[in-house]
Amino acid sequence: MVHFDSKIPSKLLSIQQWFASIITRPIDADSQMQPIAPSGRPLSEEAMEIIAPSLTLSSDKRIQIYNQQYWWRLLSILHQNFPLLTRLFGYNDFNISIGMPFLTKHPSYHWSISKLGDQLPSWLEEHYTAQDKTLILLSAQIDWAYQDLFFAPPPVNQDSSHDLLPKKMRLQKHVKLFALPFDLFSFRNAFLRESVEYWTESDFPLLPKEKKYFFLLYRHQKNSVLYKEIQEGHWIFLNSIENGSTMEEACAHLEKLGGSVYEEACSFLQEWTRECMQENWLVLEENV
């Protein structure tokens, strides 16, 4: 909800609200403003009552510049925040199918453009219905995870001198887990090597689908966001901790599962635990 300063003169507030109602309406495929105002009147007539024309532009053409700049700016930020998703569609299809419908439903209210698109994955889950929904939704989630982890708070330094096995822990804010039906991370890397325009004319790279894939995405100490493919047992171990288990309980869960994940745990658990401590991926729940 938008709150207004009660000291603003009513005439000024009315003009501001009218201005916002015009510039936030979607532009068409040719970047032109809608010709009819929200009131139902021709915008060329209504604008003349509020905006003076210039020597070269009519009143409605003057506000069209702001309408265009509003959308071009926000759409360009979505392109930056969702680079794989944009390449899957191309600029025009992305803008028409995703960018403008999403921004119409969820206009930006946050002061930081780095937050633009934080609700896009959930919007896609609700509104996107094409057959490739799994690919599109996961692509959006991973794109946003890169953005989110880059701006995540600094990790809490973990004191490893105590026995952490029986204590409740969580993943640090700069770490996320992914279990995927295909290798979307190498697929994303291949896409990002080329421009958006390149992929509108070229065949997409191969999407590996030979098995289930498990990844850990994290912000490195030098502030690069990196991914690491991990074993299924490692993913189950970390996911159990993230869902509220202690390390002891996570180990017991792996033992109960048995099979290859338990064999992995028997061989690599000490290595997994050491890496978690060295990379500062875990934090005591009480410090979250």
Closest CA to 23 of 107, 91, 123: 107
For domain 158-288, the question of CATH label 3.90.930.50 is answered with yes
- pLDDT bucket at 2, cuts 50 / 70 / 90: low
pLDDT tens digits along 108-132: 888 888 899 999 999 999 999 999 9
Contact by Cβ (8 Å): 247, 164:
yes
pLDDT at 67 over 60: yes
Interatomic CA distance for residues 189 and 83, integer angstroms: 10
Contact by Cβ (8 Å): 238, 210:
no
Q: Strand 213-219's sheet: what is its strand order?
A: 175-180, 213-219, 225-229
Tokens of 140: 């959006």
- pTM, rounded to two decimals: 0.89
Closest CA to 276 of 148, 180, 175, 163: 175
List, in order, residues 6 or more apart from 48 with CB less than 8 Å away: 58, 59, 60
pLDDT tens digits along 168-194: 888 999 999 999 999 999 999 999 999
Domain boundaries, the chain: 1-151, 158-288
How many Cα atoms sit within 13 Å of 56 on the Cβ side? Answer: 0
* Residue 270 DSSP SS3: helix
pLDDT tens digits along 216-263: 999 988 889 999 999 999 999 999 999 988 888 988 898 898 898 888
- pLDDT bucket at 142, cuts 50 / 70 / 90: very high
- pLDDT bucket at 159, cuts 50 / 70 / 90: low
Closest CA to 140 of 159, 124, 116: 124
Could you say which DSSP state residue 131 is in?
T
